[in-house]
Amino acid sequence: MRVLVADDDATSRLVLSAMASKLGHACTVVEDGSRAWELLSSEGIDVLLTDWMMPGLDGPALCRRVRNELQDHYVYIVLITGMGQHEHVLEGMSAGADDYLIKPVDPFAVQTRLVAAERVTALHRQVVDFRDQLEQANIELLERSLTDPLTGLGNRRRMEQDLDAVHARALRSGRTFAVALFDIDHFKLYNDHYGHQAGDEALRTIASCLRGSARSGESVYRYGGEEFLVLLPDCTPDDALDAAERICRSATDLAMPHGFRPSEPPLVTVSGGVSAWALAPSESVTELLHDADEALYRAKSAGRNRVCLAAGTLGRRDERAAIGS
């Protein structure tokens, strides 16, 4: 352990440091409470043997400061006093001391205090380690609860949290945002003919493609089944349509064979519907998703492998097939 002796009496400092060193502890000595506090707040001290009366901070004041300000590291404090009355001892313990010694100190008493200090500080280190492990485990559990296990994308719960946050920010600041809802074309036919394992692999591949095609600030989620959602913050409807078409093309560019598709091309493709929130305080996130879903339905009805913008969206452009068909 690292032991700090704070005492304005040179003889006491010498005796206490010799006892601590003899027991195998690294020992530092100071003459006043102010210097002791400097070391305590920066040097990782485990045990403080402090006199009651000394210049700068006295023993009780030093105890209180350690307890109030050193939250991430436990220091075992032994208060040394020439006043053996019970009220003085209780005053020191109330200030934060763990134990006390009466001057002149007995070597055996010092040894027993240091044995107790070693046990207590070791227990505190274990508690801190366990707390850190628990915090990390909680972070990992939270991350898992917000992640789709098949694709590694954010799941529906994370999507809802992020959408609510972006919507609230838009209401406060007047910043626009959009969502693009994608669906894998003829996925049931793919799943039925190639099998569920191949279907899962196709979902993972498309998820990776969408995530890789998204730009900085754009977030991708598994909406459910073979549907995915991309959150597009700070963009106009036209910008959102451009982004959705870029993502749609990237899926076609994978050239994943879909030999049982009833229409051209014989590849795995996606269709998309885009809806933008355009400074309409009365429009909810639920309505925005509904509009994107309707636009997705129109994209599928128009031949699939394309993106449509929600009807009535301000700044609307003509709908275009994602691959130029």
State both tokens at 93. Answer: 């313990």
**Which tops the pLDDT comparison, 107 or 282?**
107
189-237 pLDDT, tens digit each: 999 999 999 999 999 999 999 999 998 899 999 999 999 999 999 888 8
pLDDT score, position 140: 78
**Which tops the pLDDT comparison, 238 or 140?**
238
pLDDT score, position 316: 44
93, amino acid identity: M
pLDDT at 11 over 90: no
Task: Please give the Cα distance from 1 to 17 (Å, whole number).
Answer: 13
pLDDT band at 43 (very low <50, low <70, confident <90, very high): confident
pLDDT at 51 over 80: yes
Task: Please give the Cα distance from 114 to 23 (Å, whole number).
Answer: 9
pLDDT band at 141 (very low <50, low <70, confident <90, very high): confident
180-198 pLDDT, tens digit each: 999 999 999 999 999 999 9
pLDDT score, position 315: 46
Task: Please give the Cα distance from 86 to 108 (Å, whole number).
Answer: 21
Cis bond leading into 281, ω under 30°? no
pLDDT score, position 124: 87
pLDDT at 142 over 80: no
Question: Is residue 94 a contact partner of residue 79, using CB atoms and an 8 Å limit?
Answer: no
Task: Please give the Cα distance from 19 to 207 (Å, whole number).
Answer: 66
226 catalytic per annotation = yes
pLDDT at 325 over 50: no
State both tokens at 276. Answer: 């933008």
pLDDT at 322 over 80: no
Q: Which of 31, 218, 226, 245 is catalytic?
A: 226
Question: Is residue 75 a contact partner of residue 67, using CB atoms and an 8 Å limit?
Answer: no
pTM: 0.63
Domains of the chain: 2-139 (3.40.50.2300), 156-321 (3.30.70.270)
pLDDT, the chain, mean: 89
